[in-house]
Amino acid sequence: MAGELVEVDGSMGEGGGQILRNAVALSAVLLKPVRIYNIRAKRSKPGLRPQHLTGVKALAALSSAEVTGLKVGSMEITFRPRGLGGGRLSFDAGTAGSTTLMLQSLMPAMAFSRAPVEVELRGGTNNPMAPPVEYF
């Protein structure tokens, strides 16, 4: 694992899930641990929602990461990737949470994986405030 822990304030900018998705994706690709706090602080329901939880779990599986604070409603997580692998991943958001937003975290890491990656995600495909599946 390279470098010291990077700290990211999740309330920066629009204060939604995008900063979380970008932070964990870059953490996995660069193998730099990250602590994200104030997750989705500017939303009416702050903290991790099921689709965010599922996206981080999938990325953790792909990068053999150790994650703390990973539960619905959590305002803070620490993500410590160990290395990008490959294989088949299957995750279910358990809700209609956006699969395309989950893919936003996974795709950069998949591009840098040492082996082929196949992903199956269950959730919503055409959600409000998220890119539709046809976008991909």
Which domains does the chain show, CATH number per domain? 6-135 (3.65.10.20)
Across 95-103, average pLDDT = 85
3-state secondary structure of 80: strand
Predicted TM-score (pTM) of the model is 0.91
Out of 11-20, 35-44, 99-108, 127-136, least confident range: 127-136
The C-alpha atoms of residue 135 and residue 114 are separated, in whole angstroms, by: 26
Q: pLDDT tens-digit profile of 103-134? A: 989 999 999 999 999 999 898 888 888 888 88
Residue 102 has pLDDT above 50, yes or no: yes
Each residue's pLDDT tens digit, 39-78:
999 999 999 999 899 999 999 999 999 999 999 999 999 9
Per DSSP, the three-state class of 29 is: helix
